[in-house]
Amino acid sequence: MSTDHKPHRRPAEEILADEFLQARSRILDLAAFLDRLERAPGSTEQESRMRLLADGLEILCDDEVGKARRVQLLMSRDYDPAWQKKYGIH
């Protein structure tokens, strides 16, 4: 009996076929969000959140691995060991 417990990995072609429409929908949602910002009065040029979004998009377009992890770290706060006390959670 084999003790090799490697997880089953689906072929890239299968993942693309199964998840393409969902990914396409998410990209369209993001495009619509950016269009709404461009049409809205005011400016977001100095907004740090816009810089985070732009940096996240750069991660998605680069050739490096671990995109989800890298975007998560970009969008997350540094860990604060006293977070429960800070937010009144005991």
Q: For residue 51, tell me if it sits in a domain.
A: yes
Claim: this prediction has a pTM higher than 0.85: no
What are the DSSP calls for 58-87, one per residue?
A: HHHHSS-S-HHHHHHHHHSPPP-TTHHHHT
Q: For residue 58, tell me if it sits in a domain.
A: yes
Instruction: Determine the structural domain holding residue 67 and report its residue range.
Output: 12-40+47-78
The C-alpha atoms of residue 90 and residue 83 are separated, in whole angstroms, by 10
Q: For residue 19, tell me if it sits in a domain.
A: yes
Q: For residue 89, tell me if it sits in a domain.
A: no
Q: For residue 2, tell me if it sits in a domain.
A: no
* Chain segment 1-51, per-residue pLDDT in tens: 555 566 779 999 999 999 999 999 999 999 999 999 999 999 998 899 999
- What total number of domains does the chain contain? 1
* Chain segment 37-88, per-residue pLDDT in tens: 999 999 998 899 999 999 999 999 999 999 999 999 999 988 888 888 888 8
Q: Based on the number of CB atoms within 10 Å of its own CB, is 56 exposed (0-12), middle (13-18) or buried (19 or more)?
A: middle
Q: For residue 85, tell me if it sits in a domain.
A: no
**Is 59:47 a contact under the CB 8 Å cutoff?**
no
